[in-house]
Amino acid sequence: FYPQRVTIWEVGARDGLQNEQTVVPVATKLEFLGRLADAGLTTLEATSFVHPKWVPQLADAEELLAGLDHRAGVEYPVLVPNERGLDRALAAGVGHIAIFASATETFAKRNLNRTLDEQFEMFEPVVTRALAEGLRVRGYISMCFGDPWEGDVEPEQVHAVGERLLDMGCWQLSLGDTIGVATPGLVEDVIAGFDEIDRLAVHFHDTYGQALANTLTALRCGVSTVDSSAGGLGGCPYAESATGNLATEDLVWALDGMGIEHGVDLDALAATSAWMAEQLGRPSPSRVVRALTG
């Protein structure tokens, strides 16, 4: 039922830090990324080329990329919403970007200042140019399982947005539970509506403690790429009630128990999250981190 191997898409440096009260110094971010690579993670979402006023926590994207010690075999994708963001990402030498769409009208407005349809007009030239430059483009979809303003979200709405992103040229779709309200039955329903399940990834926030249950459900449905964040950091400044992502340690602990390969050294990772928690001045919300480092 479960895949033999899971690819972990580590979002700690981007999703994890975009919602922090304080701006983490770039040197600390670079050390964080270095330690995550040392722990065996091979996809490290590094930052976002969004408007610096919208997300001041990541306004140092250029500086971060310039200081990055690129490790062999490690990819450093970044979020890009529009052509201005793409210009910046290209100038920084990025090889892999992610656009981020909304499944709902309200969140498109709040997160991107666009209507649902206008978001595609914004993405279209980004994807066309990025592909022409030889970049890989991932597509996120937010609010796939519920929206704080609109309530329930119909799976058909998620599929419609997903199809448009795939048609545009995204190689993978990450289904985001931005506010962490999904439960396993709904996860099955949303995934079942997609034709190409091998092109899906899942991205659960852990607001209601369901992120791991939802992730394991997705794995049983045929998904094998999972987004998670070291120490369970994360959240979205433009979504009410969004809390941290599924902690990478929680995921790795479960995968280890099930004999599923992932390539990560759990002790090194937990030590990194404990160190990052010290930098941020508060304990990691991950119980696995606390159990291993307490």
Residues that bind Mg ion (CB under 5 A): 15
CB atoms within 10 A of CB 257: 8
Report CA torsion sign: 102, 108, 113, 116.
positive
- Could you say which of 8, 13, 24, 55 contacts ligand HMG (CB under 6 A)? 55
The three-state secondary structure class of 98 is strand
- Could you say which of 13, 36, 64, 112 contacts ligand HMG (CB under 6 A)? 112
Token representation of residue 83? 């052509």
Q: Residues 223, 191: contact at Cβ < 8 Å?
A: yes
What number of chain residues touch ligand HMG (CB under 6 A)? 26
* Host H or E run for residue 233: none
**Distance, CA of 89 to CA of 105 (rounded, Å):** 27
Least spacing, CB of residue 88 vs ligand HMG, in Å: 6
The residue annotated as part of the active site, out of 144, 170, 221, 236, is 236
85 binds, among ligand HMG, Mg ion, none (CB under 5 to 8 A by kind): ligand HMG
Asked if 279 interacts with ligand HMG (CB under 6 A), we say no
19 phi, psi to nearest 5 deg: -110, 5
Q: Give residues 9-28 in contact with ligand HMG (rule: CB under 6 A).
A: 15, 18
Note the residue count of the chain: 294
- Could you say which of 50, 161, 223, 277 contacts ligand HMG (CB under 6 A)? 50
What residues pair up with 157 in beta bridges, in sequence order? none
- Could you say which of 25, 84, 152, 291 contacts ligand HMG (CB under 6 A)? 84
Catalytic annotation, residues: 236
Which residues form the interface with ligand HMG (CB under 6 A)? 15, 18, 48-51, 54-55, 79, 81-82, 84-85, 88, 100, 111-113, 140, 142, 176, 178, 203, 205, 236, 238
